A and B are shown apart, each in its own frame.
Chain A
Amino acid sequence: MAHPAASASTRTGASPPQPPASWRQRLGRWDMKASPYAYISPFFILFGLVGLFPLLYTAYVSLHDWDLIGGQGDFVGLDNFTFVLDQPVFWDSLGNTVSIFLLSTVPQIVIALVLASLLHANIRARTFWRMGVLLPYVIAPVAVSLIFSRMFADQSGLVNAVLGHLGVDPIGWHRDSMPAHIVIANMVNFRWTGFNTLVLLAAMQAISRDLYEAAILDSAGRMRQFFSVTVPSVRPTIIFVVITSTIGGLQIFDEPRLYDTQGLGGSSGQWKTITLYLYELGWNQQRLGRAAAVAWLLFLLIIVFALVSNWLSRRIASGDDPVAVPRKARRAARRDASGSAAGTPAFSASSGDTPGSNT
């Protein structure tokens, strides 16, 4: 906000002294000066209301003893943070969150990339298949959780019954951590793979055919085309998908909450994620101050993870391909021209305040 205001003031400063203007003239000038702010204000107001204010207010709450119903109590400084960091259950739930996040994000993006390139190729009934991959996304997460928790019930579930017929011992889908993480991650994959596929497909549609023709002339096979043309060309989109998945993956709530009827992550916290721990502190134990501290720790964690996955996905997606180098050069040139403002930080800056935009 500070930047445009500053440039506006320099403009007024530059204008020469004028004779006293009429009301109409003055109004016209005000219009010129004020209108742009009014036009762009909805974004800042919305951001302030739904992004910045809750963030700051949560920070304020986290520094107090705060009862869910009773409200504000004493100022306790960083006690809530030290309390939470001292709890083994916080670290366990952090581990569960990261485990579920990796089990969902990594396969999801790999499958989405492959699916997108298949859909991008010349196939029959293209629109049908493209709509088809989006179908799971339309199903409400609650419904997905209900179906999955029924299928993966420990004693009476369909999956264990099938495994039993194959002579495999039943798996404790709700008893053990890893199986529980796999099921929850697959609920996420079921819902989001199609969505990410379409995002990547849209990016692939924009790749110039010339690149493929050139690759074919150089006798590149399908695999080589995929890795050397398709993947590098959709790199910015991959980064977008990775980062939104990261944010969503770390905030995962619906799926683990509905995985059993208690909704607190299993009797020994087998699938308690950070958001479930937050919920437990705030709504079960009614300690909103501690819950707010967890919310802030989660916020910081998401920033760190978003930065890391941004860095990682750049690394992975660039590889040693021939296309990326000229692109990089082109971008560098563009950056020099526009005064280096429109560069990398756009993604990481917006990552913190888009709650649950994915997954």
Chain B
Amino acid sequence: MRSTRRAIAVLAAASLTVLAAGCGSSDEGDADGKITLKVSTFSEWGYGDLLKEYQKLHPEITIKHNRFATSDAAKEQFQTALGAGSGLADVVGVDNSWLPQVLQHPDNFVDLSSSKVKGRWKDWTSKLATTNDGKLLGYATDIGPQSIAYRSDLFKAAGLPTDREAVAKLFGGDKATWDDFFAVGEKFKAAKTGPAFYDASASVATSWGDQYKVLWEDPKTGDIIAGHNKDLRNIYDTVTSHEDLSAHLARWSEDWVSAFQKDKFAVMLAPSWMLGVIKGNAAGVKGWDIADVFPGGGVNSGGSYLTVPTQSKHPKEAQALAEWLTAPEQQLKAFKTTGNFPSQVAAQSSDQLQKVTDPFFSDAPVGKILTHRASAITTIPYKGDNYFAITAAFNNAINRVSVDRTDSPKKSWDTFVDDLDALK
């Protein structure tokens, strides 16, 4: 008797919760034959108009676009939703440094390989999103070839060449090395015109690090090797010993953003997508230009992919959308609005791209320069499970010396090694 009463109480109570919970789960029905696809991206991918165009081409499809403000916020949601097994969009934009997590859980993503997309990308681009058994889990949207952005007016004041071809030669042309880069910095500093040479030591170090295949973790064993890696130690020592060339800033900080308006530095190592950021931060500042050169050869920083999670109810339609968004024509449109450099071979070699110039960067032929920089990319770094944690610790190590200026290089490195121990 008592137990039945209890059961009723529980039932009554449960129905209340169901009532309360039921309100939230009204999923868009496909009653009228319409399909709703959700797309999630972060910061600015230039997809606003493209998605409208796609809906016009495919009237049966409605697209909801979820834009995260930063890649960090998007990463957080991506990881949480992936762990929870629900909550991901039908087409999810991922940064190339999250691909290890995608590849680790291949069952959660649709294999996107098809004859239609064969040969679209350079090998290294599609290899990053391909599992060992040949499943392609992401379509590359853009890549991040780096070039040197510089202030020609500040170069002029320091008695250095200002013309972009001469500057490229100054940095060493096609055979540019990091020694050349720091040598130019010393020359600039010797002129004592006021501004620092480059913006952030940590960014210089990580750009350099992106030229090594193995730096942070051992690809075979997954062990963290950063603490006793000679190459990394060399980068760290070189950069920290040239500390007086930096403006003692951390990228993205308040001080960094306002430094653009105050002529605090003359040079920035910039991936393609950074050019848009420079334009925004340095609005009204004249003299920015881009040189077709990079110390140590080509390097890729960032770049993104579109994935289709198996959670999606309409994987076929989602894949079609992702394929369309990453086709050459669409990539070129996105490049014009945001500066995200196309990942497709066909888009990179198109005449349209070669003709693109940018008035902000003294009419530099951005399309041509970035294509040349992209073709110089030879090495793609290995990024394992602990990539975020290790690079965060490494950036902290440099910033303790460069930005906070609280630690000596040696002490800061020791702390870095301790931090790595805590990751085991």
Q: Give Cα distance in the complex from A284 to B393, angstroms.
A: 11
Q: Are B255 and A41 in contact (CB under 8 A)?
A: no
Q: Give Cα distance in the complex from A77 to B407, angstroms.
A: 38
Q: Are B9 and A156 in contact (CB under 8 A)?
A: no
Contact code string A147-182 (vs B, CB < 8 Å = 1, else 0): 001100111110000000000000010111000000
Q: Which residue of B lies closest to A38 (CB)?
A: B12
Q: Give Cα distance in the complex from A58 to B12, angstroms.
A: 28
Q: Are A156 and B258 in contact (CB under 8 A)?
A: yes
Taking the nearest CB of chain A, how far is it from the CB of B99, in angstroms?
Answer: 13
Q: Give Cα distance in the complex from A52 to B403, angstroms.
A: 44
A38-B79 CB under 8 A given contacts A156-B258, A262-B392, A268-B407: no
Taking the nearest CB of chain A, how far is it from the CB of B402, in angstroms?
Answer: 9
Contact code string B380-422 (vs A, CB < 8 Å = 1, else 0): 0000011011001001110110011111000000010000001
In-complex Cβ contact of A267 among B80, B248, B404 (8 A): B404
Q: Are B253 and A153 in contact (CB under 8 A)?
A: yes
Which residues from chain B contact A284 at a C-beta distance below 8 Å?
Answer: 388-389, 392
Q: Are B404 and A172 in contact (CB under 8 A)?
A: yes
Taking the nearest CB of chain B, how far is it from the CB of A31, in angstroms?
Answer: 10
A60 at the A/B interface (Cβ < 8 Å)? no
A337 at the A/B interface (Cβ < 8 Å)? no
A260 at the A/B interface (Cβ < 8 Å)? yes
Taking the nearest CB of chain B, how far is it from the CB of A143, in angstroms?
Answer: 14
A286 at the A/B interface (Cβ < 8 Å)? yes
B346 at the A/B interface (Cβ < 8 Å)? no
A331 at the A/B interface (Cβ < 8 Å)? no
- Range for the number of chain B residues in contact with chain A: 35 or more
A33 at the A/B interface (Cβ < 8 Å)? yes
Q: Which residue of B lies closest to A288 (CB)?
A: B83
Q: Are A286 and B400 in contact (CB under 8 A)?
A: no
In-complex Cβ contact of A175 among B76, B79, B404 (8 A): B404
Q: Give Cα distance in the complex from A33 to B7, angstroms.
A: 12
Interface of B is mostly: helix
A199 at the A/B interface (Cβ < 8 Å)? no
Which residues from chain B contact A89 at a C-beta distance below 8 Å?
Answer: 422
Q: Are B254 and A68 in contact (CB under 8 A)?
A: no
Q: Are A45 and B16 in contact (CB under 8 A)?
A: yes
Q: Give Cα distance in the complex from A283 to B76, angstroms.
A: 7
In-complex Cβ contact of B262 among A69, A153, A156, A266 (8 A): A156
B72 at the A/B interface (Cβ < 8 Å)? yes
Which residues from chain B contact A302 at a C-beta distance below 8 Å?
Answer: none
A34 at the A/B interface (Cβ < 8 Å)? yes
Which residues from chain B contact A44 at a C-beta distance below 8 Å?
Answer: 13
Which residues from chain A contact B8 at a C-beta distance below 8 Å?
Answer: 30, 34
Q: Which residue of B lies closest to A66 (CB)?
A: B83
Q: Are B422 and A267 in contact (CB under 8 A)?
A: no
Taking the nearest CB of chain A, how far is it from the CB of B87, in angstroms?
Answer: 13
Q: Are A34 and B5 in contact (CB under 8 A)?
A: yes
B277 at the A/B interface (Cβ < 8 Å)? no
Q: Are B405 and A153 in contact (CB under 8 A)?
A: no
Q: Are A153 and B392 in contact (CB under 8 A)?
A: no
Q: Give Cα distance in the complex from A261 to B249, angstroms.
A: 12
A71 at the A/B interface (Cβ < 8 Å)? yes
A261-B406 CB under 8 A given contacts A70-B105, A285-B423: no
Contact code string B82-111 (vs A, CB < 8 Å = 1, else 0): 110000000000000000010011000000
Contact code string B22-50 (vs A, CB < 8 Å = 1, else 0): 00000000000000000000000000000
Q: Which residue of B lies closest to A37 (CB)?
A: B9
A286-B79 CB under 8 A given contacts A155-B255, A172-B404, A267-B396: yes
B221 at the A/B interface (Cβ < 8 Å)? no
In-complex Cβ contact of B406 among A67, A149, A175 (8 A): A175
Q: Give Cα distance in the complex from A7 to B254, angstroms.
A: 63
Q: Give Cα distance in the complex from A99 to B248, angstroms.
A: 28
Q: Which residue of A lies closest to B16 (CB)?
A: A42
A156-B79 CB under 8 A given contacts A38-B12, A70-B105, A267-B396: no
Which residues from chain B contact A154 at a C-beta distance below 8 Å?
Answer: 255
Q: Are B13 and A260 in contact (CB under 8 A)?
A: no
Q: Give Cα distance in the complex from A69 to B395, angstroms.
A: 25
Q: Are A37 and B83 in contact (CB under 8 A)?
A: no
Starting from the known contacts A45-B14, A153-B254, 13 additional A-B residue pairs (CB-CB under 8 Å) come to: A42-B13, A68-B79, A70-B83, A71-B83, A153-B258, A156-B258, A156-B259, A261-B252, A267-B250, A267-B403, A284-B392, A285-B389, A285-B423
Q: Could you jot down 25 A-B contacts, CB within 8 Å? A: A9-B2, A30-B5, A34-B9, A42-B16, A67-B83, A68-B80, A69-B105, A153-B254, A153-B255, A155-B255, A156-B258, A175-B404, A261-B251, A261-B252, A261-B253, A262-B392, A264-B392, A267-B397, A267-B399, A268-B396, A268-B415, A283-B80, A284-B389, A285-B423, A288-B83
Which 8 residue pairs are nearest across A and B when measured between Cβ atoms? A41-B13, A37-B9, A153-B254, A38-B12, A261-B252, A267-B396, A267-B399, A156-B258
Which residues on B are within 8 Å of A, measured CB to CB?
1-2, 5-6, 8-9, 12-14, 16-17, 72, 76, 79-80, 82-83, 101, 104-105, 248-255, 258-259, 262, 385-386, 388-389, 392, 395-397, 399-400, 403-407, 415, 422-423
